[in-house]
Amino acid sequence: MVAIIDYDAGNIKSVEKAMQLLGQEVKITRDRDEIMAADHVILPGVGAFGDAMEKLHQYGLVEVIHEVTKKGTPFLGICLGLQLLFERSDEAPGVEGLGVLKGDILKLPDKEGYKIPHMGWNSLDFPREGRLFKGLGEHPYVYFVHSYYLKAAEEEIVTATADYTTTIHASVEKGNVFACQFHPEKSSDVGLQILKNFVEL
């Protein structure tokens, strides 16, 4: 069973649909026991860092996320879900992130000819081999919607980068914890392959 953590985040239904397309049993839940019993856990997200952390605290999910990631269950953060796994964000000064991984979420720099938010398709580069990207060719295109980006403290966890006004750490992998800044559930066949790789872990 795949548990999708429900903290009122925006893209839950599209993640659920993608998982069902892959033939997975899915539960959208904020129940601790269901999350702890799941074979795979996804933290989706569209919205603001500060509001999201407030909701995670309100629903008692901060401790649950720490428990389930320590337990070794394959865990995937998507978009805002990636950002929340880190320590802090320019979007919400003074708000502590989950701190499961080390690094900062920074505002995308302004650059002439580029619009922010970064919205649309962008190609990925793979600085090292990531288990999520098995079976994909070089420089696949995926779908992004964001104004803030990850700068991971540990370069060795970065498995994909993208260029948009700067180098974005677009995906990370550390042990059982995976995260993507882009939306695999909105990234057509490439995204489905990424999600398939995740549920086959």
The lowest-confidence range among 8-12, 135-139, 145-149, 177-181 is 8-12
Confidence of residue 13 (pLDDT cuts 50, 70, 90): very high
Domain residues for the domain of 65 are: 2-199
**What does the block give as tokens for 129?**
């081999």
Percent of the chain with pLDDT over 90: 97
Give Cα separations from 58 to 6, 37, 97, 188 (angstroms): 12, 21, 14, 34
Residue 121 pLDDT: 98
Residue 6 has pLDDT above 90, yes or no: yes
Q: Enumerate the H helices of the chain as residue ranges.
A: 12-21, 32-37, 49-58, 61-71, 80-84, 188-199
Q: Over the stretch 76-132, which tens digit does the pLDDT of each residue have?
A: 999 999 999 999 999 999 999 999 999 999 999 999 999 999 999 999 999 999 999
What's the pLDDT band for 10 if we cut at 50, 70, 90?
confident
Contacts of 59 (CB under 8 A, 6+ apart): 7, 30
Number of domains in the chain: 1
pLDDT (tens digit per residue) in 36-86: 999 999 999 889 999 999 999 999 999 999 999 999 999 999 999 999 999
- CATH number of domain containing 108: 3.40.50.880
Q: Strand pairing partners for 162?
A: 168
pLDDT surpassing 90 at residue 196: yes
- pLDDT at 185 exceeding the cut of 80: yes
User: Which residues participate in catalysis according to the annotation?
Assistant: 79, 183, 185
Count other C-beta atoms under 10 Å from residue 125's C-beta: 12
| Distance separating alpha carbons of residues 102 and 85, to the nearest angstrom | 8
3 state SS for 61-109: HHHHHHHHHHHCCCEEEECHHHHHCCCEECCCCCCCCCCCCCEEEEECC
